Amino acid sequence: MPVTFRPARSADLPHVVAMIADDAIAAARTGAYGDEHRAAFAAIEADPNNELIVAEQDGEIVGTLQLTYIPGISRRGAWRLQIEAVRITAALRGRGLGRTMMAWAIERGRARGCTTVQLTTDKARKDAHRFYESLGFAASHEGYKLDLAGRNG
């Protein structure tokens, strides 16, 4: 069944939040759908360098990811594509949909002039590490975070 990609709409947000929270690592830091998610979505929608994308199959949302286009001074002013919150609905994991979704996102970054695609993934997500490496991503940098809100993530 073909998959289509489109920007998320506000009506999609409860489903997107549920998909992101359907994970032992992300559940606590994502929380239940509410005002904070609606405010974040409004900010994403208002920013031309951010996109919340959903993947649809047969009219159902089956995946999501957030794309952020980052201009930079380093690398001769190159733009980077940051990919965040990659999720496939639980029933369809392991069937190639993630690979299709990532290929689509990479091409979208290329079309926007990005020269680098980057992402982070929790150190505990060993399956995700293998998946991203199979797509050609390299664990080339060590990432650090400073939690300013007491939310661990």
The model's pLDDT over 106-152, given as tens digits with 9 standing for 90+, comes to: 999 999 999 999 998 888 888 888 989 888 999 888 888 888 987 65
Residue 77 lies in a domain: yes
Among 108, 122, 116, CA closest to 137: 116
Residue 26 lies in domain: 3-134
Check: CB of residue 74 under 8 Å from CB of residue 85: no
- Report the C-alpha gap between 68 and 136 in whole angstroms: 20
Structure tokens at 105: 């996102």
Query: pLDDT by residue (tens digit) across 9-23?
Result: 999 999 999 998 887
Query: pLDDT by residue (tens digit) across 64-120?
Result: 999 999 999 988 889 999 999 999 998 998 899 999 999 999 999 999 999 999 998
Residue 152 lies in a domain: no
CA 91, chain centre distance (Å)? 18
- Report the C-alpha gap between 77 and 16 in whole angstroms: 33
Please list the alpha-helical segments (H only) found in the chain: 13-21, 27-30, 35-46, 74-77, 97-111, 126-134
Among 56, 64, 48, CA closest to 14: 64
Residue 153 lies in a domain: no
pLDDT of residue 152: 54
Among 108, 104, 102, CA closest to 87: 102
CA atoms within 13 A on the CB side of 134: 11
Residue 29 lies in a domain: yes
Residue 148 lies in a domain: no
Look up the CATH number of the domain holding residue 60: 3.40.630.30
pTM of structure: 0.90
Count: domains in the chain: 1
Whether the per-residue pLDDT at 61 is higher than 90: the answer is yes
pLDDT of residue 151: 60
Residue 140 lies in a domain: no
